[in-house]
Structure 1
Amino acid sequence: MPVGYSAAQIRAAEAPHLANHEPLMQRAAAGLAAEIRGVIAERRRDGRLRHARPCVLLLVGPGNNGGDALYAGAELAAKGKRILVLLVLGRVHEDGLAAALAAGAEIVTDDEAVEAAATADVIVDGIFGTGSSGRSALQGAARDVVMRLQPLLGGPEAPAVVAVDLPSGVDADDGSVPDPAVLPADLTVTFGGMKAGLLLSPARELAGRVRVVQIGIERQLARMEPALQLPDDTSGGQ
């Protein structure tokens, strides 16, 4: 039976590990990087990889979601991938950005974003994660970026979209999508446990395939009553 947890439950499960200074973000980033490498390998097998040196564009928001993307980008850059970073809201996880730049990532400007996205093999949506639950609609610069990139997606030659934890603009708890400014993901990499919203429409249809990466909070979650439990036939195969 598919089960999902609320954003508050995920934060509660993380709390003792963060208090012990465990590297939850680095674990999440390592899992994210592995899944991105898998997407690149799929595109290479299918003949859809655009560059001999794969190109990944990171859409980076100001919080931990952006930090996950940046640390994953650092790992990928260190392995020879070309990593482009768009700082969507200016503010950024400073240590993650430093790691990415030290590994060879390049920052692109808002004016360069569409061209970078159009030529990328993979776009990583690291704008907002579970911290936006309850106020999930994108606004301002974040909404503008997503609306400019949406027309590039959907075709057979379009870049793959990998969402970090959940597609930015959907609600982690109830799966609602209050505004059409969402990048539909081919793959969503979520951390610790399935977010309840990813099991519910319309977010379910925007999340693509969902992979749950273990980061060390699973025992805490197992002690909780899930926020959502669904019969197997309503999970959409995820």
Structure 2
Amino acid sequence: MEPQATHQLLNRVTQQLKPASADSTTPAGDNTASKQPSVEQKEAINQIFELFRFNYHNQFLKAFPDHDTLIMAKRLWSRLLVDYRGDVIMRAAEKAVKESGWLPNVHEVVARCDIADVLGLPDPHRAYMEACRAPSPKQEYRWSHPAVYYAGRASDWFFLANNIEEVAYPVFKRNYEILLRRLQNGEDIQMEIAPALPEQIERPLPREQQQQRLQQLKSLL
């Protein structure tokens, strides 16, 4: 391919994908450039483009007028969506199609890759409220999903019950999102979650208060 033609091709693909580079919701701290898409993810990308071709025929042909443009776009989408499982990507694309009369760009698909929503789980705040309101014994409560219970357990039931939302919710949200990632990756959500490093070291409670707190914890289980 001639250099000028290559430059024009890159410009076309970049224009179609431009919103994604400025405001992607891909999890912070992940180096997507070092990851390679799996076979499942590549198949999902191919299915997405076929879905778009069928639903946005004229817009699709305008955005991807030739084979080289289409291949380059698929490669870029694969890199930008590498943090999400194939079925999550596919459902996010289907959701984008249902909600838009215009050809979605990769940014709009990434924005819909909400793992909790795709997997049918409550969002973090709804899960937090469920964990706080669930009666004891916690193990016998009919949870909307086991991940809510394990996130509450990892956060410490006593801690959730005795702290305001401003303090307790960030802890629960962190643990819940860890479990969502495990679900996404097909991992065991029953494994213990390592506690976050404290911002400051607290002094141990006196022995009497420790025993009292232990009794309170037992009543919550």
Give the TM-score normalised by structure 2. Answer: 0.24
Q: Tell which has more relative contact order, 1 or 2 (C-alpha 8 A, sep 6+).
A: 1
Larger relative strand fraction: 1
Give the TM-score normalised by structure 1. Answer: 0.23
Q: Which has the larger radius of gyration?
A: 2
